[in-house]
């Protein structure tokens, strides 16, 4: 018998149960068996190819990958995830991972508690995000509201004013809410960035010397190395340069200097018990305006409270028969008066007409309507007056409500009244139609009666005295180039084109007043006649005291036109300031701009910090840094937010 006859015709399974090969090979079973085998093959090989841990090696490293993921989760949520002992690699290889990770038979109390806390945290976070989106909640201010909170931030500033170490989350949050930019904003062009850095270092030189030689005083004598105080500040030391310079420091990114100034304001700026006579106008634009600007850009409530404190001290000056405030107020007694030289004791147009930006904003951020009511009263008194040829004289008697001497000027005594008409309309989000109407009417009259053109083609604002033109233009009036161009941008045709063209022409004339001097700095006033153009004649018109108005117009025209000549002209001013006004102890004015070696006046004006250097810095910055679409500058260059447009308005 052959071997094939000895072997059985069936195989033995591991269970010893015989299975007939003929039965296995039936057609239906063959198909089913084929699908099963195919599924097993796909499952095994799919695991190798599609699991990332197994693509690169054997199965055990996958446990290590899971362990790494678990470590990251522990870092993200340590307060919610159970702190289990770490897996030892030996345990992994010995198959004891299950024991370490607590395969328990009954619920663990701590695990349930952690899950509940995690769920509550998620729900709370979702609710807060929803409220933030709906209410547009602003981020916490950079500067704390009390010194006890100071120093908690680890960020430092870059030379260009940017903040180093600012978290990506905060940056994304600001982008999400489109918060206005008040720091950074460096131009991409290296040459422009270098020029801006030069201006920034000018600010540091001016500030450091003030801090060294005159800290707490109103202003600095940079040659004498001591404090200085003009009569407008009375007899006290109120740190005018500190208050005036704070927002410039912040915008430029000098945060250590800003912090020191802020602390001085908190500890020392207090008018309670003071018996001193202050200028209502200057105190408002420098102190109230400067403090409100710092409040807007930082959110630090201390600045708002200080602004309220000072503004309340000014209120007795409004206690006149008409509501037109006096020029001077004794802070201690509350008594007020006007200058004796001002047309028989009249109030001055540029002073009582330059309160609206600060007072309206103060009412909105404090909820106290009294400040807005004072402005509304002034407006109604002015509107009732008959105006000669539609023009506004520079003097108004607060007792009778009648105009004083018929002197009309876009420069000294009149200037910022017109500026505040335009900017009150813009600040209101263009809802204050009364201010707009008054501005348009005033400009129609002023352009029609005062705009002149010289024999050489220079456009300028003349002055009018008793219906006669005086062909003189103040340096102070050079702000009108920027004002007209800014107003034209927001008005309808034909005023849009007309006002913008006039703004360009006047700014060109003011540059000529600089360019025609030996120092390349402009005189306090310049005249036009058959013999001269844009030049000063009298000795008391030839000085330059670090004024900003020409540079202000350069800045505004640059933002509106991007004509490179405005940056070129601004750089010329920087070079002239460095050559003739910079001294070891800061910056000083000069007495004769037509002299090759001008005598210096030894005063560093506080507005040099607030206005001149700020406008130069912004001239060499990107347009979105303190954007003209979101801010208006008060007449001391303190930026105040535009209502309904600027998320930093912070109104109640």
502: left (phi over 0), alpha (psi -120 to 50) or beta: alpha
3-state secondary structure of 522: coil
Tokens representing 238 are: 């109120």
- Distance, in Å, from the CA atom of 140 to the CA atom of 131, rounded to the nearest integer, reads 16
Tokens 């950079």 belong to residue = 142
Tokens representing 394 are: 């520079």
Q: What are phi and psi of 463, to 5 degrees?
A: -105, 160
Task: For the beta carbon of residue 612, count every other beta carbon within 10 angstroms.
Answer: 28
Q: Which residues of 342-371 are buried (b: 16+ CB within 10 A; e: fewer)?
A: bbebbbbbbbbbbbbbbbbbbbbbbeeeeb
The CA angle 188-206-311, to the nearest 5 degrees, is 100
- Distance, in Å, from the CA atom of 336 to the CA atom of 327, rounded to the nearest integer, reads 7
- Distance, in Å, from the CA atom of 648 to the CA atom of 291, rounded to the nearest integer, reads 14
Listed in sequence order, the residues at least 6 apart from 190 whose beta carbon sits closer than 8 Å to its beta carbon are: none
Listed in sequence order, the residues at least 6 apart from 122 whose beta carbon sits closer than 8 Å to its beta carbon are: none
Residues marked as catalytic: 524
Task: For the beta carbon of residue 17, count every other beta carbon within 10 angstroms.
Answer: 7
Task: Output DSSP code: residue 474.
Answer: E
3-state secondary structure of 342: coil
Residues constituting the chain: 652
Check if the beta carbon of residue 590 is closer than 8 Å to that of residue 521: yes
Helices H, strands E: what count in the chain?
A: 26, 23
Beta bridge partners of 227: 220
Q: Please, what is the angle between helix 433-450 and helix 480-490, to 10°?
A: 130
Smallest Cα–Cα separation from 274: which of 217, 328, 227, 234? Answer: 234
Q: How far is CA 534 from the centre of its chain?
A: 35
3-state secondary structure of 162: coil
């Amino acid at each position: 018998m052959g071997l094939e006859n000895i072997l059985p015709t069936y195989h033995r399974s591991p269970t010893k149960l015989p299975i007939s090969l003929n039965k296995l090979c039936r057609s239906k079973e063959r198909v089913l068996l084929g699908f099963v085998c195919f599924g097993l093959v796909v499952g095994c090989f799919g695991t190798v190819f599609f699991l990332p841990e197994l693509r690169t090696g054997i199965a055990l490293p996958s446990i290590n990958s899971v362990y790494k993921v678990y470590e990251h989760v522990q870092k993200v949520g340590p307060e919610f995830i159970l702190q289990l002992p770490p897996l030892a690699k030996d345990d992994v290889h010995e198959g004891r991972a299950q024991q370490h990770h607590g395969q328990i038979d009954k619920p663990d109390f701590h695990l349930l508690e952690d899950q509940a806390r995690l769920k509550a945290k998620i729900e709370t976070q979702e609710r807060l995000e929803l409220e933030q989106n709906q209410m547009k909640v602003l981020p916490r201010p950079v500067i704390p509201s009390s010194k006890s909170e100071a120093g908690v931030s680890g960020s430092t500033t870059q030379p260009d004013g940017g903040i180093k170490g600012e978290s990506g989350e905060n940056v994304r949050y600001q982008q999400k809410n489109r918060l206005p930019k008040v720091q950074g904003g460096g131009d991409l062009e290296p040459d422009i960035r270098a020029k801006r850095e030069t201006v920034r270092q000018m600010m540091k030189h001016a500030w450091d010397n003030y801090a060294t030689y005159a800290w707490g005083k109103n202003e600095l004598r940079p040659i004498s190395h001591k404090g200085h105080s003009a009569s407008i500040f009375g007899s006290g030391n109120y740190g005018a340069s500190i208050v005036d310079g704070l927002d410039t420091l912040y915008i430029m990114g000098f945060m250590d200097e800003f912090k020191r100034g802020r602390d001085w304001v908190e500890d020392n700026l207090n008018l309670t018990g003071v018996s001193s006579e202050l200028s209502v106008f200057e105190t408002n634009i420098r102190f109230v305006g400067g403090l409100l600007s710092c409040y807007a850009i930082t959110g630090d409530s201390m600045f708002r409270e200080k602004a309220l404190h000072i503004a309340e001290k000014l209120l007795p000056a409004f206690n006149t028969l008409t509501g037109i405030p006096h020029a001077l107020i004794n802070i201690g007694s509350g008594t007020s008066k006007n200058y004796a030289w001002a047309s028989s004791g009249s109030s001055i147009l540029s002073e009582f007409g330059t309160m609206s930006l600060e007072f309206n904003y103060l009412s909105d951020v404090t909820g106290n309507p009294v400040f807005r009511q004072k402005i509304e009263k002034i407006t109604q008194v002015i509107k009732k007056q008959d105006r000669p040829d539609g023009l506004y004289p520079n003097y108004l008697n607060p007792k009778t409500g009648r105009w004083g001497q018929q002197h009309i000027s876009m420069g000294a005594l009149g200037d910022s009244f017109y500026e505040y008409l335009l900017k009150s309309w813009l600040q209101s989000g263009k809802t204050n139609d009364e201010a707009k109407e008054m501005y348009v009417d005033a400009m129609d009259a002023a352009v029609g009666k005062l705009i002149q053109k010289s024999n050489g083609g220079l456009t300028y604002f003349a002055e009018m005295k008793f219906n006669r033109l005086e062909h003189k233009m103040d340096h102070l009036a050079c702000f009108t180039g920027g004002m007209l161009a800014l107003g034209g941008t927001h008005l309808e045709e034909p005023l849009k084109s007309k006002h913008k063209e006039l703004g360009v022409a006047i700014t060109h004339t003011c540059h000529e007043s600089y360019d025609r001097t030996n120092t390349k700095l402009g005189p306090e006033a310049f005249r036009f006649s058959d013999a001269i153009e844009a030049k000063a004649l009298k000795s008391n018109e030839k000085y330059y005291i670090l004024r900003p108005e020409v540079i202000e117009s350069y800045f505004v025209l640059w933002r509106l036109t991007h004509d490179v000549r405005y940056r070129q002209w601004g750089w010329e001013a920087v070079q002239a300031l460095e050559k003739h006004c910079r001294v070891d102890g800061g910056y000083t004015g000069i007495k004769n701009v037509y002299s090759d070696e001008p005598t210096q006046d030894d005063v560093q004006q506080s507005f040099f910090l607030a206005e001149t250097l700020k406008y130069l810095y912004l001239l060499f910055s990107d347009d979105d840094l303190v954007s003209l679409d979101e801010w208006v500058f008060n007449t001391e260059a303190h930026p105040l937010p535009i209502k309904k447009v600027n998320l930093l308005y912070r109104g109640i």
